[in-house]
Every structure is written in C-alpha cells, then in structure tokens.
Amino acid sequence: MLSIPFNIAAPVGQERRYVEDLLSATGDIGEPRYSALCEQWLEKCLGAPRVLLTPSGTAALEMTALLLDLRPGDEVIMPSFTFVSTANAFALRGVTPVFVDIRPDTLNIDDARVAAAVTDRTRAIVAVHYGGDACAMAALRALAQRHRLDVIEDAAHALLSEFRGRALGTIGRFGCLSFHSTKNVTCGEGGALIINDERDLARVEIIREKGTDRARFLRGDVQKYSWMDLGSSYCLSEIAAAYLYAQLQEAHAVTERRRAICAAYRASFASLVADGHVQIPPQILQQRENGHIFYLLTEDAATRENLLAHLKAHGVSASFHYVPLHSSPAGQRFGRVSGQMTVTDRVSQCILRLPVFATMTDLQVNHVCAAVRSFYLHPSPGTVS
C-alpha cells in the first residue's frame, strides 16, 4: 500500500551546490553573499523596498514589536486561530494580545469584529493570511487608519500569494515570512521581514545587528560601530541562506506544483462539498493563491477523528492545528478575548489538512483523493459518524 507523508521538505534544485560552494570558498563565511542574493530576489519578486532575512518568522514578528516601540500595557489585535508566534512575539514585550474570532469562509481574522476590540491602548492589528489566503486588507487598513493603528502581516503561509496583483506581505507596514520546514520554501529554520515603509529602514538595520550601527560601519558610513538602541541577533546564517537561495530559485515552480495539487483536490471533492459533507478553502476573487494548505472542514469533531483514522488506515498522513490561542495556558495568562470565539472553536475541532508537497506525484494525489472519497461514499462499519 502507498504510504503518503503529510509533508516532505527536501532539496528541489541547487541546494547542495550552493552549500558546497560556501564550504569550498576561501572567503569569510560571515560575509552575506547568499543572504544578499536572497534579499534581492525577494525584494524584486515581491516588489518591496527592503527585505531582511531573519533566523525565523518568529524573529521577524519580534522585530516588528521592537520597531513599533510596543510597551507593556499596549494591545495588539490578532486572530486566536494562528500559530503561537503571532502572539508570543508581542507578549514578550509585555503587550497584551487581543484575540478576535475568524471568518467562516477564509478562516482569517473577522474584519467585521475588529472594531469592537479596539481600545485606547490598541497599537496594531496582525493580519495572518491563513493558508496563503488574503485577509480583508482594505477593511483592516481603513479601520487601522481611522484609529491610527499599524497593520502587520503575518505572511508566514503566504509567500508568492497575490491579491489584486500585490504580493501578500507588502500591504501592511511590515510583512513577516517564514522559511520553516513546514512552509512552501524552506531552509529548515528561517524567515524574513518585509519593510514597506521607508521610515523603518534605518532602525531595522540596528535592531537586526544587536542594537548596533554595524551595517553602516560595514558600508563605510561611520568609522566605528557602537550600541545605539535595543536589538538582538536577528541575522540568518549564511549556510542557511545558501540553501534558501536554491529554494527561492525554484519557488515559482514549487508553487505551481502545489497549486496543481490543490486544484486536483478541489475538483475531486466538488461533490462532497455540494452534498454538504465538507467545506474546502475558498476561491477568492482577484487572488492568486500559493497552494500552502489544503483543508477539509468536517461537519463535527467526531467525523474528523474518524476521517483521520480512515486516512491513516489507507496510508495517508493527514494533520490538524491549531489549539486556539485564547484557550491555551499562555494565551489565557497573557491575552484577552474580544467577543465570541464560535468559529475559531469549531474550526480547530473540525479542520483536517491533507498532504501537499512539491515532490508529491499524481499517483499519490489520486490515492489521497480516493481515500477521502471512500470515507464518504462507503463509510466503513463501526465508525461513529
């Protein structure tokens, strides 16, 4: 029987060659050669004034909290249905994450519920583009403007997703990317901070270089460098960058393959959707998605458990996430809830993610499709659905 993993993060191009090149070069391994190539690639491809590689998406989010001078008592509005780092990056600075429910269609923060969460301590909104699907950015930006808030895009899922021709991550003041091994493009651990506002350019260099003006020193702008501001060690290792550059060069091909896999799932499950068995990711007008996640929302929690077991019995590794942050121990300690969490609670219990990875074969995709369909078309005796 076929055994299909949930994800495979493997080399897709010149990874070995670039890392080998670095090892055999006579130059300094601290000199940002591949890092610079990655940053230029991202700036050009996304159309952003400046992109800085970081050790992780988490680090990029932490940098936004420093750049905005967030302080204890400040509040940042975000969805509860997201990865821990979206909230932890701000809680680290003593900021209170304020959780808002998600929309039932895109599973993104419910823009209609954000206004009710704003107080005189609110400083920013984090727009998490779940599965690479765009948040309602026009509505969020209008609201932010009205209340003088900043918008940070957690675009960890969203590399190469576009909405109305604009790359996700380039619409808010900052965008945060992740190159973790669970993401479309990866170097194991890595990330990037997208700077969309020129006024942040000078300070972000200092924050990334341990609070020093070393970047200016290296350019010959100053004679020596010193401690200027708060900061931390937020550079990506050059070895990781060499690997990442090879992945970026294949990023469009990888994204195309992922889109094709998701399109095959969508076609195969159309009748299950029509019959009301499952909900699948939306098709958003004027959006070009990146095939990061393909999910099924089952009608209830018991059905999800049965479907997971059925798929496992057919050799298919499916997965689910997130424990909603508002019901996690640290979320309750550091955060606050605004309004109902009905959709968040339901989705976290009913979501099931199917395998999507660039090297997945058509045979494997068809096997997953058949395994899902057989659950609904010929339910095995003994399941409680």
153 phi and psi, to 5 degrees? -95, 120
CA 345/CA 356 separation, integer angstroms: 25
Q: Please choose, from the candidates 22, 87, 140, the residue with its C-alpha nearest in 3D space to the C-alpha of residue 334.
A: 87
CA distance 328 to 272: 33
HSE at residue 42, side-chain half, CA atoms within 13 A, is 34
Residue of minimal CB distance from ligand PLP? 57
Closer residue to ligand PLP (CB): 119 or 233: 233
Residues binding ligand PLP: what is the number (CB under 6 A)? 14
CB of 127 to ligand PLP, least distance (A): 11
Contact pick of 19, 38, 42, 57 for ligand PLP (by CB under 6 A): 57
CB of 313 to ligand PLP, least distance (A): 29
Closer by beta carbon to ligand PLP, 135 or else 297: 135
Per-residue DSSP letter, 237: P
Q: ∠ at Cα 317 (313, 322), nearest 5°?
A: 125
Site for ligand PLP in 76-95 (CB under 6 A): 82-83, 85-86
Q: Which of 4, 43, 52, 56 touches ligand PLP (CB under 6 A)? A: 56
CB atoms within 10 A of CB 322: 18
Tokens of 287: 């959006």
203 lies in the site for ligand PLP, by CB under 6 A: no
Q: Which of 294, 290, 297 is nearest to 343 (CA)?
A: 297
Minimum CB separation from ligand PLP for residue 106, in Å? 14
Considering only CA atoms, which of 298, 291, 51, 92 is closest in space to residue 176? 51
How many CB atoms neighbour CB 224 within 10 A? 8
Q: Which of 12, 51, 52, 58 binds ligand PLP (CB under 6 A)?
A: 58
List, as one string, the DSSP characters of 343-364: HHHHHHHHEEEPP--TT--HHH
Residue 178 in the binding site for ligand PLP (CB under 6 A): yes
Of the pair 12, 109, the CB lying nearest ligand PLP is at 109
Nearer residue to ligand PLP within complex by CB, 155 or 228: 155
* 191 lies in the binding site for ligand PLP (CB under 6 A): yes
Q: Which residue has the tokens 């809680």?
A: 91
**Of 240, 182, 243, 253, which is closest to residue 14 (Cα–Cα)?**
243
- Of 131 and 231, the one with the shorter C-beta distance to ligand PLP is 131
Instruction: Establish if 344 lies at the interface with ligand PLP (CB under 6 A).
Output: no
Kindly state whether residue 255 participates in binding ligand PLP, applying the rule CB under 6 A. Answer: no
| Per-residue x/- track, 119-158, ligand PLP (CB under 6 A) | ---------x-------------------------x-xx-
Provide, for the chain, the percentages of residues in helix, strand and coil under a 3-state DSSP scheme, each rounded to the nearest 5: 40, 15, 40
Q: How far is the CB of 82 from ligand PLP (least distance, A)?
A: 5
Chain residues that interact with ligand PLP, rule: CB under 6 A: 56-58, 82-83, 85-86, 128, 154, 156-157, 178, 180, 191
